[in-house]
A = this chain, B = another copy of it.
């Protein structure tokens, strides 16, 4: 698996799995009908962020990640990150590899820690993955996420020093 900076040429592939993941409304706190333009602005074109793509041996985009500052000014030394893996490539360690890459890059970029603001508590596989990579659950914001089938569930705030 190759992980490198995402390029505008990767966007079509990224959007092909990002759109259904967001539309499902189970893991991301984005508008489920977010426009492609808005999603691209958040993911690829954040002036304070950078995005990555994980590629299969044949060059197919299997997943993507992005890191950006979690706050501005006096809070800009804490990174935030997002991850999406094409379900067609699930179970291959793509999410783990992307997170390890994001942590390395965040360190290299001078961030002192990484914080996730909104990890859906029912997204158990992701929670376990982040924990296995050293993230702690600092708090769970009660009923902060409206899951399409499970109703109101909590959002974990997760954190790791770099």
Chain A residues at the B interface, C-beta cutoff of 8 Å? 22, 25, 28-32, 34, 70-78, 112-113, 115, 117-118, 138-148, 152, 155, 157, 159, 161
Contacts and interface: CB of A to CB of B under 8 A. Distances in A.
B29 A74 contact: yes
19 contacts: A25-B73, A28-B73, A29-B71, A29-B75, A31-B72, A32-B73, A70-B144, A71-B117, A71-B118, A71-B144, A71-B145, A75-B118, A78-B144, A113-B143, A138-B138, A138-B139, A138-B157, A141-B157, A142-B159
Number of copies: 2
A145 B74 CA distance: 5
A145 to B, nearest CB: 5
B115 A144 contact: yes
A148 B75 CA distance: 12
A72, A113, A159, A161: most-surrounded residue (chain B CB, <10 A): A72
Contacts of A76: 29, 31
A143 B25 CA distance: 32
A30 B73 contact: yes
A66 to B, nearest CB: 16
A33 to B, nearest CB: 9
Nearest to A120: B74
Nearest to A112: B143
A117 B115 CA distance: 11
Contacts of A143: 112-113
A159 B141 contact: yes
A146 B71 CA distance: 11
